Amino acid sequence: MGFIAFLLSIIFTLVFIYLGVYSLYLFIFSVLGKLIKQKPPPAATAYSKFVIYICAYKEDAIILNSAAQALTIDYPKDKFHVCVIADSMQPETIEKLKAMPLQVVEVVFESSTKSKALHAAIAATHQDFDAAVVFDIDNIAAPDYLHQINNYLHNGNRVIQGHRVAKNTETPVAILDAISEEINNHIFRKAQQVFKLSAAIIGSGMVLEFKLFKDTMAQIDAVGGFDKEMGLVLTRQKIHVAYADKAYIYDEKVSNPEVFKKQRRRWLSAQFNLLKTYGLTGFKELFAHGNFDYFNEIYQTAILPRILMLGLMPLMLLISLLTPGIGPGWHLWLAATACCYIGILVAVPGEFFNSKLLGAVLKIPLIFFTMLALLFKLKGANKKFIHTPHNPGAN
């Protein structure tokens, strides 16, 4: 074997280890998450008191409906308080919000971030609450959302991530975004509980004990990816994140390809920035303190988006067929590719297998190359807040 062939063999082997371990991870968590059922907590006999923070940046056409919907949650009215953090809102919108039975915290930042908005809201919160809830501007909670969360709090959980689901699937991009969300919910939240690991926190629909929320947010000042950083801060302290599968929070999915591209660029940049900052600490916490939960959280910042896996795995399988004797054999790549695809498909809820799915699947190649290109365009994406516009007509 010549030097070039030897070098390629080393590279292909390292690539196989990275992609193969990830494929096996997807397969194991996805399949066992389906096979092993989790028992929900018993119904609580007392009511926790919640403050619901709604982070609202511009989007005046959306916040009035979202705020009104939050006030209608089926829970004792004296046991929850709605606080809208109004960032760069129009005066008439502020006036209408103040006419509602809720708190309005007006903020204007030179450079807006969700972290800054939540810091301002915490400073303006003067009542005693048991737990803090974080919603995005477009989020609509199911009527029993707080009841479901309350059950988990009274069962000893300090941090709970709700089940965020799509409220719009009108375009192929929105369908793929909705499917991606549900795959995440299954593999990185629900199935994690099977192994007593923490669910991955999302930026909304999450709940923390109020004091813990204040203490945790005091350690976070991220431009993007504050939720991922929150997960790292919590698991490093060995604080478990539970997943409330029946606590539904309806979230608008991205419908426009350009908006999708900007959003994913921001997410990828935040992910790799956190990996650069925290990556090596995962090994220290694992070997020095036995904190596998934190190591698992770090690992999740090191993995590629699944849309890239859908393209890279068959591509590497093809390369292995064309280059016999260099790196792992094609049969190993075939096994890894099968694990990857089975893991992803098993995690897709049955209701998505309908007539709209084909149109969405046909968009995957375009999105694959878009995401691949974004990997080389991340510089500066995590330096400034990139707003994701919403569609007021989404339902």
pLDDT at 380: 56
Domain extents in the chain: 8-36+304-376, 50-264
3-state secondary structure of 166: strand
**How far apart (Å, rounded) are the C-alpha atoms in residues 179 and 292?**
28
pLDDT at 171: 85
**Contact (Cβ atoms closer than 8 angstroms) between residue 23 and residue 340:** yes
pLDDT at 375: 76
**How far apart (Å, rounded) are the C-alpha atoms in residues 238 and 244?**
19
pLDDT at 395: 47
3-state secondary structure of 17: helix
**How far apart (Å, rounded) are the C-alpha atoms in residues 337 and 81?**
48
**Model pTM score:** 0.89
Q: Are strands 140-141 and 241-251 parallel, antiparallel or unpaired?
A: antiparallel
Query: How far lies 347's CA from each of 17, 135, 182, 248, 353, in Å?
Result: 23, 25, 7, 18, 12
pLDDT tens readout for residues 222-264: 666 788 999 999 999 999 999 999 999 999 877 666 777 777 7
pLDDT at 331: 96
Mean pLDDT of the chain: 90
**How far apart (Å, rounded) are the C-alpha atoms in residues 147 and 142?**
10
What is the CATH code for 50-264? 3.90.550.10
Per-residue pLDDT tens digits of the chain, which is 395 residues long: 678 888 889 999 999 999 999 999 999 999 999 999 999 999 999 999 999 999 998 878 899 999 999 999 999 999 999 999 999 899 999 999 999 999 999 998 878 788 889 999 999 998 899 999 999 999 999 999 999 999 999 999 999 999 999 988 888 888 988 999 999 999 999 999 999 999 999 989 999 999 999 999 998 876 667 889 999 999 999 999 999 999 999 998 776 667 777 777 777 877 888 888 888 999 999 999 999 999 999 999 999 888 899 999 999 999 999 998 888 999 999 999 999 999 999 999 999 998 888 888 888 888 888 888 877 776 655 555 555 555 655 54
